[in-house]
Copies of this chain bind each other. A is one copy, B any other.
Amino acid sequence: MEGIERSRKRSRQREEILAVLRSTKEHPTAAMLHTAARRRIPRLSLGTVYRNLDVLEEMGLVLHIRNGNAQDRFDGDVSPHYHFVCDACGAVLDMPLPYRPELDEAAAREGFRVRGHRLDFHGTCPACSKP
């Protein structure tokens, strides 16, 4: 018993949110996206931002980076990659290291059915390291 197909209709709001997300490397929060997208769609509501981020995630166009107490972040780059989180300022940066499938293989050897992994480095980002 599969879920029924869901036909999507396009909307200016969804396209604008995706465009903003793809135009930045900052891994913005929902609130940041709301602020940015409202420059072009002033009546855009925050609820619509959240709803569309869900839809875009389901479509595989957006990565939802869940972060505990801090606000969640969103990433328009859906290729497998790692992040660096700054302990000082909270920024999320891309980490230019290749994905390591051997980690998944090692985990699978322990008897887990593994789909993938998430790897976040933490420390002090270049900007915050400056004296």
Closest residue of B by beta carbon distance from A108? B123
Docked pose: A114 CA to B27 CA in angstroms: 19
Copies in the complex: 2
A119 to chain B: which residues have CB within 8 Å? 103, 117-119
A122 to chain B: which residues have CB within 8 Å? 114-118
Closest residue of B by beta carbon distance from A64? B68
A118 to chain B: which residues have CB within 8 Å? 118-120, 122
Tell whether, in the assembled complex, residue B97 and residue A112 are in contact, meaning their CB atoms are under 8 Å apart: no
Tell whether, in the assembled complex, residue A125 and residue B112 are in contact, meaning their CB atoms are under 8 Å apart: yes
* A13: Cβ under 8 A from any B Cβ: no
Enumerate chain A interface residues (CB-CB to B < 8 A): 64-70, 72, 84, 87, 95-97, 103-104, 106-107, 110-126, 129
18 contacts between A and B (CB under 8 A): A66-B68, A69-B72, A84-B107, A95-B110, A97-B103, A103-B121, A104-B121, A111-B126, A112-B121, A113-B125, A113-B129, A114-B121, A115-B122, A116-B122, A117-B119, A118-B118, A118-B119, A118-B120
